[in-house]
Amino acid sequence: MIRLACAGLALVSIAAAAAPLPLPPIPPAHPPREQLAPTPDRTAQAPFVPPNDGVRVRPQDFRAQLLTQGLGYTPGSQFQNNEDRRPIQTPGLSLQVPLQ
């Protein structure tokens, strides 16, 4: 029985490999000029960021906004932990120290 199944599988795979493939489309002799491919702007520059050499302390809300679409929840909904259920989040301080 196993030999018959293997022979049938081999026969089907050989028949599938021998099937003629469709021909690919032939590109036009004169491609349209109004639809050029996008190219990167080589003269583009990054936005100017003023240097900040000192220590910065500022108030900040540290609530993590993790938008996960897994775990069987419907799109736009997710599990809420105790921190997310609070109406007002406790603010914190953000301290940035440059390393040189």
> Model confidence over 8-51: pLDDT tens digits?
888 777 776 666 778 888 888 887 777 667 788 889 888 887 77
Q: Kind of pairing, strands 92-96 and 56-60?
A: antiparallel
Residue 60 in contact with residue 91, Cβ under 8 Å? yes
Q: What gap in Å lies between CA 49 and CA 100, rounded to an integer?
A: 18
Residue 57 in contact with residue 97, Cβ under 8 Å? no
Q: Which of 52, 38, 57 lies closest to 100, judged by CA?
A: 52
Tens of pLDDT, residue by residue over 78-88, are 666 676 677 77
